[in-house]
Structure 1
Amino acid sequence: MVSGMRLLTEDRFMEKAQAYQAVLFSRGVDVNIEVVNQLNARFLRLNPDMALCVDASGLWLCGNGMKMQPDWTAEVPRLKRASLKSEMIARACHLSEKPAVIDATAGLGHDSLLMAHLGARITLIERHPILFTLLEDAKNQAESDPFLGQVVARIQLVFSDSAVYLDQLIARQQMTDVVYLDPMFPQRDQHQQVQKKQAQVKKQMQLLHLLLPEQGEMDLGDHLLVLARKIAKRVVVKRPRLAVFLAAQQPDHQWQGDTCRFDAYFNENMY
């Protein structure tokens, strides 16, 4: 049980806040509702401690003067520009075949949203109850969007530890087309020359790093690769361009971009 988390809201959103409180409690998060006069940018700057907040747009994670939620609606312009030919992830995951994809490192769900738009059937796995609830809220809101509704219909959210989920598939000998891994904290090769000045982490990811510390709730994904290779035709790992191989396993093929790459591991016995 996660306890002591504040859930900030204005009086007019109290009913909505209580509904989120009940959902979070059912997932092991005990939040305390605090009513504030105005839940605005000034309030967040003056109250930098991490908390949850509820307003007209739903549930947010806030901290350090910022707030974030997986804003799938904001991804629509990117989706409308995307095609099977233009997106490297489409080639890496063989999306032209409309595969069944398990995204075992959910994050904000943006890559899953893109893959679903390009025709894949996605199972999106997330174990952290707060992040799962944020993703669920994003999916629920997207369902009423004329463009996104048909996209998110191809996404199934599963509240589970990815390692446990993959272990269960292995035990049942239940195979899938693709397992997709995008670890949040990829290790970098100390022998590679990596620029010292790197782009600032986006605000959304900064808050996720507060929620999912590297030493604790989050992992680097190495063990997931080992499990995924047992039940997938191909495992695709998204990495920074100069990062070391996940679990020190050399991929069968790579797709290289300017800032990132996709490492693919093929299960020849399943082709």
Structure 2
Amino acid sequence: MHDCLPTPPAGLELMRRPEGLTLVGEGMELRADFSELLPRLREGALARELLVRAARIKGMPRDGSLTVLDATAGLGEDSLLLAAAGFTVELYELDKVIAALLCDALERARAVPELEPIVARMRVTQGDSLVALRERAEAGNAPDVVYLDPMFPERRKRAAVKKKFQLLHNLEHPCGNEAELIEAALGAGPRKIVVKRPIKGPVLAGVKPSYAILGKAVRYDVIVPPRS
């Protein structure tokens, strides 16, 4: 696994360790580990997750027959929640280093009995989600939900960001094509688009949501496109 690891920016190093692929630098370490989310995957806790409430489609089965396209996957924690809720999730991550950490986490999760059936519904692609969304639009192959959690400059200023995740700021970049992103998401024809935003942040690309689900620090703007 990971026979050819991507090269991170100067000052950072990807290291194979017994506990998993690890990004090291600036006196910190970052490793994706889905086992840490197990308490949030329990039935009662999962039903209270704001993201799950935002993405859920009325009367949806939990057999993986409905799909989410996560256009900004990161380390996949949100996608894990959606997969646990019964969606099949297609994860797109543009950065090669983040994608490598994510794939390593998925491989390790397959060996955990409680996680194996969940991550079986998660598929990772290292690449540009804009391309994937446009290809789906051309093919008429709409996902049921498109999930967007773009990196924005204000997130860099939040003191509450966990220290280990500060390493991701060397890899992620604030979204500079938000209009393209929302346009491509709408063009793909999903039943809904869910956008994660800071609680007081502006709507994405000026597109007013159909409704929003509010938490203490974040909100989920839900766009329900008109059905033809």
For each residue in 1:200-227, what CA deviation from the matched residue of structure 2 results, as whole angstroms up to 9, or x when unmatched? 311232111012243xxx6464421111
For each residue in 1:218-248, what CA deviation from the matched residue of structure 2 results, as whole angstroms up to 9, or x when unmatched? 6464421111012211111010100001001
Give the letter for the 1:268 counterpart. P
Q: Which runs of 5+ in 1 are unaligned?
A: 1-18, 32-47, 189-196
**1:243 equivalent in structure 2:** 201
1:120 aligned to which of 73, 82, 87: 87
Report if aligned partners of 1:72, 1:138 keep a CA contact under 8 Å in 2: yes
In the TM superposition, structure 1's runs of 4+ consecutive aligned residues that sit over 4 Å from their partners are none
Report if aligned partners of 1:68, 1:203 keep a CA contact under 8 Å in 2: no
**How far apart are 1:187 and its partner, in Å?**
5.3
Separation (CA, whole Å) in 1 of partners of 2:18 and 2:72: 28
With over 3 angstroms needed to count, the CA separation of the structure-2 counterparts of 1:239 and 1:30, relative to structure 1, is closer
Q: Which runs of 5+ in 2 are unaligned?
A: none
Separation (CA, whole Å) in 1 of partners of 2:55 and 2:111: 28
With over 3 angstroms needed to count, the CA separation of the structure-2 counterparts of 1:245 and 1:121, relative to structure 1, is same
With over 3 angstroms needed to count, the CA separation of the structure-2 counterparts of 1:149 and 1:100, relative to structure 1, is same
The number of residue pairs the alignment matches comes to: 219
**1:178 equivalent in structure 2:** 145
Separation (CA, whole Å) in 2 of partners of 1:164 and 1:266: 22
2:72 aligned to which of 102, 105, 108: 105
**1:227 equivalent in structure 2:** 184
Is 1:148 aligned with 2:111? Answer: no
**2:160 equivalent in structure 1:** 200
Separation (CA, whole Å) in 2 of partners of 1:176 and 1:128: 22
**Pairwise CA RMSD of aligned residues?**
2.2
Separation (CA, whole Å) in 1 of partners of 2:160 and 2:154: 17
Report if aligned partners of 1:124, 1:158 keep a CA contact under 8 Å in 2: yes
Separation (CA, whole Å) in 2 of partners of 1:198 and 1:112: 23
**1:83 equivalent in structure 2:** 46
**1:192 equivalent in structure 2:** none
For each residue in 1:9-43, what CA deviation from the matched residue of structure 2 results, as whole angstroms up to 9, or x when unmatched? xxxxxxxxxx53x333xxxx358xxxxxxxxxxxx
Give the letter for the 1:228 counterpart. A
Give the letter for the 1:124 counterpart. L
Give secondary structure in 2 for the equivalent of 1:83. helix
Q: Which structure has the larger Rg over C-alpha atoms?
A: 1
**How far apart are 1:108 and its partner, in Å?**
1.2
Separation (CA, whole Å) in 2 of partners of 1:61 and 1:184: 19
With over 3 angstroms needed to count, the CA separation of the structure-2 counterparts of 1:71 and 1:30, relative to structure 1, is closer
Give secondary structure in 2 for the equivalent of 1:176. coil
Give the letter for the 1:64 counterpart. E
Separation (CA, whole Å) in 2 of partners of 1:204 and 1:226: 33
TM-score of the pair, normalised by structure 2: 0.88
Report if aligned partners of 1:187, 1:244 keep a CA contact under 8 Å in 2: no
Select between 232-241 and 222-231 the one with higher mean Cα deviation: 222-231
Give the letter for the 2:213 counterpart. W
Separation (CA, whole Å) in 2 of partners of 1:61 and 1:157: 19
With over 3 angstroms needed to count, the CA separation of the structure-2 counterparts of 1:79 and 1:220, relative to structure 1, is farther
**How far apart are 1:94 and its partner, in Å?**
1.5
Separation (CA, whole Å) in 2 of partners of 1:213 and 1:255: 26
**Structure with the largest fraction of strand:** 1
For each residue in 1:74-133, what CA deviation from the matched residue of structure 2 results, as whole angstroms up to 9, or x when unmatched? 11112125233x122122111561431000000110010011111111011112111111
TM-score of the pair, normalised by structure 1: 0.75
Separation (CA, whole Å) in 1 of partners of 2:201 and 2:153: 7
For each residue in 1:155-188, what CA deviation from the matched residue of structure 2 results, as whole angstroms up to 9, or x when unmatched? 1111221111111111112111100001122658
